[in-house]
């Protein structure tokens, strides 16, 4: 029974990660259009996006 409860939590966790992923993706797009934004900031956002993508894929493999 406990496993079933854990599995039902995955969709909400995935949704939260996806939401954060798309927010960061929008921030990257916006930052790349601005001349005043440095590459370090964009690189940092891209790393966060990659980490979120890996977490989403990890959860999908488990479920």
Distance CA 41, CA 29 (A): 12
Q: What is the pTM of this model?
A: 0.71
Distance CA 36, CA 60 (A): 38
pLDDT digits (tens, 9 = 90+) for 24-63: 999 999 998 888 888 899 999 999 999 999 999 998 887 6
* Closest CA relative to residue 32, chosen from 42, 44, 40, 24: 42
Residues 6 or more apart whose CB falls under 8 angstroms from that of 17 comprise 52, 55, 56, 59
Here the tokens at position 60 are 């999908």
Structural domain of 45 = 2-62
DSSP three-state, residue 63: coil
pLDDT digits (tens, 9 = 90+) for 5-26: 444 566 788 999 999 999 999 9
Domain count of the fold of the chain: 1
């Amino acid at each position: 029974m406990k496993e079933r409860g854990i599995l039902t939590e995955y969709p909400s966790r995935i949704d939260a990660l996806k939401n954060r992923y798309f927010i960061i993706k929008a921030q990257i797009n916006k930052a790349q259009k601005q001349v005043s934004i440095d590459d370090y900031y964009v690189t940092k956002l891209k790393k966060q996006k990659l980490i979120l993508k890996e977490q989403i894929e990890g959860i999908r493999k488990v479920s």
